[in-house]
Amino acid sequence: MKITDIAVSTMDVPNAPPVSTYYAGSSYVVARIRTDAGIEGLGYTMLMGGMGASAVRAYLEDNIVPLVTERDALQIGAIWADMYENDRGLRKKGIPVYAMSAIDIGLWDILGKSADKPVWQLLGAHRDKVPVYGSGGFLSYTVDELVEEAEGFRKQGVGHYKFKLGRENVMENVERVREVRKALGDDMEILVDANQRWDVATNIRVGRMLEDCNLFWYEEPVLADNIAQCAEVAAAIPIPVATGENEYTRYGFRDLIEARAAQYLNPDIHRCGGFTETMRIAHLAAAYDVKIAPHLVPELHVSVLAAIPNGALVEVLAGSPENLWEHPVEIVDGHLLPPERPGHGMEFSAEAVRDYTVDG
Ligand SMILES: [Mg+2]
């Protein structure tokens, strides 16, 4: 099945409130992969705040599309390796991997559609529903707003809620966690995310003070570039550390695992190399009994988590854009159900394509 054409476009999708207070929207660089069998795969990669979108698109159009066009769409592994090895000098972090990921996601969509099977079954079905955690809790929120958001998730059967650490006054963060724990009671798990804001000493101080808050995980304590420091925090605090949303490919995750930097890994299918590489990362982590809880993109990560034995939770953000998808993912009793449609099962709604495409 030959790839005849790859149409690249960009969609700028505004965030719904309240996320829009944090960043206005995200860009989706879309690659529609067409084949001589008439099957079209939807590949895309999402850039938060639109950061780097034009560069990802240029890399995709200039370096990847010419390499992939005319190839056999079903040779996903070979195409992945060629995209990876083709890069000279940018290194497989950041822009090149975002671009590769879009193609890989589109190729798995084609494989599923050609086999008339959902991707999660082709990847090795492990479960037919995956638990989610509710995410949001931006720094601007009051404690009442945090509790309200958590209760909104709880009403949907969700048992885990995550919010941000990083207010300038360190003790204020500790107090916020204590107050939210008190308000929610002990039957809801709480996760916190420092978003790389603090140094090792501050994280250890905060992590130790939060010991009695019964936290599920403590995310991205330090700069993602410094794996040794993350491992230092993980060894010193009594809360499991999660990290990986800013890591790329199996090599980056190998380094996190070898350093014992985290008990939960948060790969992002758009940043780490599509379905192909996310599965490799998940299997590598399984050999160390490290769990996978992917970063955002629940509409695709639901298929990954349905296919791996060491999946923990899928992240669902409060205030995700509405009307983006033909078949939006829906929380059912605290879980997402992987799509039964062939391929990855996702397609942008006609309305979203019309309203958000900025450069077809
Ligand atoms: Mg995070």
Task: Give tens-digit pLDDT for 237-286.
Answer: 999 999 999 999 999 999 999 999 999 999 999 999 999 999 999 999 99
Is residue 162 pLDDT above 80, yes or no?
Answer: yes
- 352 neighbors 325 (Cβ within 8 angstroms): yes
Distance, CA 277 to ligand 1 centroid (Å)?
A: 20
Question: What contacts 137, CB < 8 A, 6 or more positions away?
Answer: 146, 149, 150, 161, 162, 163, 164, 193
Q: What is the pLDDT of residue 89?
A: 87
Active site residue: 162, 164, 335, 344, which one?
164
Distance, CA 3 to ligand 1 centroid (Å)?
A: 36
Residues whose Cβ atom is located within 5 A of ion ligand 1: 193
> How far is residue 136's CA from residue 152's CA, in Å, rounded to a whole number?
11
Indicate where the chain has its CATH 3.20.20.120 domain(s): 121-336
Distance, CA 245 to ligand 1 centroid (Å)?
A: 6
The CATH number of 3-116+350-359, from 2.40.37.10, 1.20.1420.30, 3.40.50.300, 3.30.390.10, is 3.30.390.10
Mean pLDDT throughout 188-200?
98
Distance, CA 166 to ligand 1 centroid (Å)?
A: 12
Indicate where the chain has its CATH 3.30.390.10 domain(s): 3-116+350-359
Q: H helices of the chain, where?
A: 53-59, 65-68, 76-86, 95-115, 119-122, 143-155, 170-184, 200-209, 227-236, 249-258, 269-272, 274-286, 298-305, 350-356
Distance, CA 162 to ligand 1 centroid (Å)?
A: 9
Is-catalytic flag, 164? yes
Active site residue: 92, 295, 301, 344, which one?
295
Mean pLDDT throughout 203-224?
98
Is residue 92 pLDDT above 90, yes or no?
Answer: no
Could you report the per-residue pLDDT of 38-91, keeping only the tens digit for each?
999 999 999 999 999 999 999 999 999 999 999 999 999 999 999 999 988 888
Distance, CA 136 to ligand 1 centroid (Å)?
A: 10
The SS3 assignment for 237 reads coil
Q: What is the pLDDT of residue 360?
A: 65
Residue with tokens 């298929």: 303
Could you report the per-residue pLDDT of 113-129, keeping only the tens digit for each?
999 999 999 999 999 99
pTM assigned to the model: 0.97
Could you report the per-residue pLDDT of 293-323, keeping only the tens digit for each?
999 999 999 999 999 999 999 999 987 777 9
Which is nearest to 327 in space by CA: 341, 343, 313? 341
At 212, list the tokens: 């009695």
Distance, CA 193 to ligand 1 centroid (Å)?
A: 6
CATH code for the structural domain at 121-336: 3.20.20.120
* pLDDT band at 20; cut points 50, 70, 90: low
